[in-house]
Chains A and B, each alone.
Chain A
Amino acid sequence: MRVGRWFAKGDGLPSYFSQYITVALIGLAAIGMVGFMLGAGRIIRPSNPSADKSLTYECGVDPIDGNWAQTNIRYYLFALLFVVFDVEAVFVYPWATMMRSLGKSGLVEMIVFIGILAMALLYAWKKGILAWD
């Protein structure tokens, strides 16, 4: 950071000013970047609004009905349950490849981990989420 160094060497400014220059520069860069991208887009792009363009899907089948589409809430619950097994796979896989070197403590830890996940399944089961009707 050349500017920062110049300030730090220079006219006896407290050194934290030089450090804050980085903070300020990054802040300015962040604002400038967003401003530049939005601004440039506004200047460069042609503007021809038409009714077709504001449709949800510009090509393909014409949308019917409103935007209020309802799905059975059960799909959501199953998606949540999926996360339980997903997390399990993420952790069990690397553990399986390292099982020998991790030894007994690794095994105990995995049993605890699966036990906690099983609790989630037990919870879902007792709350009647697993039954479809």
Chain B
Amino acid sequence: MGTAVFDLHALAPELILTGVAILILVYDLFIGDERKWTLPIVAAGGILAAGIPLVTLGLSDTTRSLFGGAYVVDGFALVLKGIFLGASFVVLLMSAQYVEEGDYHRGEFYFLLLSAVLGMLVISSARDMISLFVAIELVSSPTYLLAGWRKRDLKSNEAALKYFLLGVVSIAISLYGMSILFGVTGGALKFTEIASWMSAVPSGSAMGVAAMSIVLILVGFAFKIAAVPFHLWAPDTYEGAPLPVTAFLSVASKTAGFVGLFTLVYLAFPAQSQVWRPVIFGLAIATMTVGNLIAIKQTNLVRMLAYSSIAQAGYVLVPFAATTREGSLTAETFASSVTYLLIYTVMNLGAFAVIIAVARRTRSVEITSWSGLSKYAPGLAVLMTFFLLSLAGIPPTAGMWAKIFVFRSVISAGGLANGALAAVMGINSVIAAFYYLAVVKKMFFDPAPEEDLEAIPVPASLAGAIGIMAGITFVLFVIPDVAVRLGYGASLV
């Protein structure tokens, strides 16, 4: 780029989103209540506009490195940014009606949402400890506020407070680890520097300290992705937060935590896989098993999906933990994690969109209030079944391929430990199918509680969100190559 300080093209998505976020904040100040409905349109326009440079960057097909390698726009960054922008666009569709019906600050909702999305774009490109930290804070801070957005609702306050306190503690633990690593490596911040230091120093006291810092950093990110035993905030926060925010947290915010994990273990710590692999191995098994077992007992649909999303995070962790015979990291394991994340994002958002639509009528997310749904809302019941089948990994849905890819990547790595991992995952898929299908049974075979069989009106934006997600879930079942190719395109290995 010659003399230019930075590559404006590479930063265009972030710059556009920043501009639109500020625009919304100011625009909201100067318009009356009668024109507030334009806010989500501006926000959606901003997200779509930020997607345009993403496409042109993808077509130009060059890796762009900015700020001395601290900020990189490569295949991984582009694919993940695409997932984030798509997911937040759908969350916008889901929230437009919801936000309009609650008499709370609307402009701020969209401003905070876009700020969090901006953080997600930054985290996809962050390649040094400082940008990673700033980005994860940029994701977290607005979501703390969003979780407490219904400020007159005690549950929402509880959600925000728990999320805030545990989030702050977890990032503090990560920061502690980062500071130790900074000291022991003699001031390395960039992932490439850390990686070369780690492969050069074989063992001894410095490596022991580095091992500790790796564990501490991973703990912070395990909180973000709600891996067991760092999951305790998730169910309460998901239950109390406004439903669109819950959907946002369970996919986008979780994926942001995974992005941090991807870049850290594959770019900064690849030489020390014997340190972090046992940790992630344990996390994956605990997360899958505990998440699924507790989900069985839930009577509240959102809490059930909260535990299910914990378990799903466990499946994404599985390829990380797969040990290949040479101990190296393969593109296949990486791609299967990204593919799983992509498909999980789609199907989970779809499930939440249906919940929002039904909760407008039932005013409750207790599973019992869903009984007999197929009698008065057959369309929504069928779609919910479709998303639940996908989450369980049953055809004809994309969720099946997601599970198969993860399975295959673990099994093809070979070995006893990987076999055990695959077995645990298989057992968990069966457990998960039980509680997903229990909801399906409620919807189709139980009588409606009050014989009030009026159809549920679904706002156009919400119907659009459900339709898009259902469409993608089905299309990815028919042609899974798309998701796989995106996964391989994102590979950092």
Contacts and interface: CB of A to CB of B under 8 A. Distances in A.
Contacts of B49: none
A127 B29 CA distance: 8
Contacts of B207: 19
Contacts of A126: 29-30
Interface stretch (A21-29, A38-46, A50-58, A78-86): A21-29
A119 B205 CA distance: 50
Contact of B208 (A21, A105, A119, A123): A21
Contact of B26 (A5, A15, A23, A119): A119
A22 B29 contact: no
Interface in B445-465: none
Most buried by A among B5, B26, B211: B211
Contact of B215 (A14, A18, A23, A105): A23
Interface string B4-38: 01000000000000000010011001100000000
A19 B208 contact: yes
Contact of B212 (A23, A116, A119): A23
Contacts of B274: 14-16, 19
Contacts of B26: 119, 122-123
5 contacts: A8-B204, A22-B209, A22-B211, A26-B212, A119-B25
Interface string B371-413: 0000000000000000000000000000000000000000000
A36 interface: no
Interface of A: 1, 4-5, 8, 14-16, 18-23, 26, 105, 116, 119, 122-123, 126-127
A16 B278 contact: yes
Contacts of A26: 212
Interface residues of B, number: 19
Nearest to A126: B29
Nearest to A20: B211
Contact of B205 (A4, A20, A23, A127): A4
B203 A18 contact: yes
B175 interface: no
Contact of A4 (B25, B29, B208, B275): B208
B22 A119 contact: yes
B216 to A, nearest CB: 9
A20 B277 CA distance: 12
Contacts of A15: 203, 274
A115 B215 CA distance: 40
B5 A1 contact: no
A127 B25 CA distance: 12
A119 to B, nearest CB: 6
